[in-house]
Every structure is written in structure tokens, then in C-alpha cells.
Amino acid sequence: MEPSQRRVVIDTDIGTDVDDLWTLAMVSGRTDMGLVAVTVAYGDTCLRARLASLALAGMGVSAPVARGLEQPMSGKEVMWAGFEGVGVPGIDDASSGLGGAVDLLCDTVSADPGGVDVVAIAPLTNIAAAIQADASFATDVGHLVVMGGEFSRGWTEHNVSSDVDAARVVFGSGIPVTVVPLDQTLRVLLSAEDLSVVTESHPLGVLMADQADRFWEWLRTRLPGAPHRASPAHDPCALLALLEPDLFEVAQMAVTVDDHGRTVGEADGASSVGVVTDLDPDRVRGAILMALGEEYAHDR
């Protein structure tokens, strides 16, 4: 790992929305980061770990994958679409990783205080558990980026609403946090056409295409008005908010979460939580495609 690289842990619920896979697939195309570990949360973490392990192995990336908490702190039922892992070659033989994701998170950041960043693209159960397990975790994390919340329409967002209790722990922890909310990530769509060259060039291209088609088909059963063969790149936006913050406008806010999972932000210059209030959709989309190997990505 180069000295100038950011050391990053990705906490993910890979398996339903293809954007988790897109995020892991970006790792091999970003020379400005080194992946320290992947932790998985929410539901069947054994399957999620197998998916993450396959993705890393397919790219030749060496980093531990660890299983975290399956059930939200809030007790809310886990949402499971039912196609997770379907059509993934080698899934039954893939490594299910290590146990103890929360311990791995704590140990990793304590070994390099301020030197490890965490990108959380899952319900925040693992992150909240790490905060509660080790008082130094909150001060040792370099920066935490959360894909979650929604701040313009009063909507609930999956990652926050899936574990309200965990979200409250994280937003109240004092960790330097950048929140990349749904109202912004919805502005960055990736389509089958965008990904056509990626499919041919990226080592995970065929898998990404297959998993995207399965997710898009399922999404249209839930949201009949969803775009045809396209969806927002929610989670890749979170990784980019860490690596290329100049693509995003951020305002410091005190963030609260109501019992339904709706997030409210009030301007507070002293808050440790920054919320993305604007982004450049074309440049963000181009940066994602560039990391995935898209040769005609927009100039950044």
C-alpha cells in the first residue's frame, strides 16, 4: 500500500441492490485507496461474506472479509428480496470469511488511530456496535462516510430506517461523518448502456451485468416507475465522497432520526456530521465509470 493511499474499510450489505457490488468493483480502479477489510452486516451475513469474497478474489484484491451482526439493534425485520446469491458462479464454494466483524473494526482502527477511514453502505448496525464495544473507536476512526438518510422530501431511506437505533448511536457519537443521502444519490444513475464497456473489460463485468439485471427486474416489481435497466449508484457515491470530496458540497448539521427512520438535519457549524447537499451528477457518474474501467468516462 502506497503511503499516499487512504486506508479504507467498507461495511456493506452486498446482495440485493447491485450498487454494493459496483462499490467493491471500484476498488481495483482507484490507486488512491487501499482496501484494509470488508465487513458485512444485515441478514444472511454468511452469504453476503461469500459474495464479497468472490468479488475481491475475482479482482485479485487481498483483504479480510468478516461477518457482522445479522439482526438490527432496533429489532426491525430484515428485508430480504430473495434473489441474493442467485446466478453467482462459485458462490457455494466461496469463503464465508471470518467471524467477528465488530472486533475487526475496533482492532483495525485502534492499530492506526486516525489512519483508517470507514465507508458504511449498509444499515449501521456494525458501526454502532463497534462504538458501543470500544470507547476509543469513535476517536480512532479517521473519517466515516455513510450512505443513508434523506433530507429533502421527508422520505425514509433503507439503511437508516432498517436500524434506527444504530443510526442514532452513530450520529451522536462525535465521529467525523459525511452523510451521502438518498436525495443526492438518486441523481446519479448507471444504466446497462453505461456499463456495456465495463462488462467487457472489468474482471467482474459479467457478474455485475447479471446482478444488475436481476436487481432491475426485482426493482420494477416494487417500483413500476423505476428506470428501465438502470438504477442509482447510491453506494459508489459514498466511496467517492471520501476519495474525491471536491465533487460534493457538504453542510455541517445536527442530524436526528425519528422512530420511522426519517432523518432531519439542522444547520450546526459545530456538528461533527456533514451532510452532502449537492453534487455534480455528471462528474460523479464519470468518476464511477472511470474506476470501473470505462474508457470514455467524463473528464473529472
Secondary structure (3-state) at 20: helix
Tens of pLDDT, residues 145-177? 999 999 999 999 999 999 999 999 999 999 999
Q: Which amino acid is at 90?
A: G
Detail the DSSP E strand segments found in 13-107. Answer: 33-40, 65-67
* Cα angle 178, 179, 185; round to 5: 125
Enumerate residue ranges in the chain where pLDDT < 50.
Answer: 295-300
| Residue ranges with strand state E in 122-176 | 144-147
pTM as predicted: 0.96
Q: What CATH homologous superfamily does 6-291 map to?
A: Ribonucleoside hydrolase-like (3.90.245.10)
> Domain residue spans in the chain?
6-291
Which residue is listed with cell 447510491? 234
Number of H helices, E strands in the chain: 12, 11
pLDDT tens, residue by residue, 221-266: 999 988 889 999 999 999 999 999 999 999 999 999 999 999 999 9
Q: What is the pLDDT of residue 264?
A: 98
10: three-class secondary structure by DSSP: strand
**Residue 49: count of CB within 10 angstroms of its CB:** 26
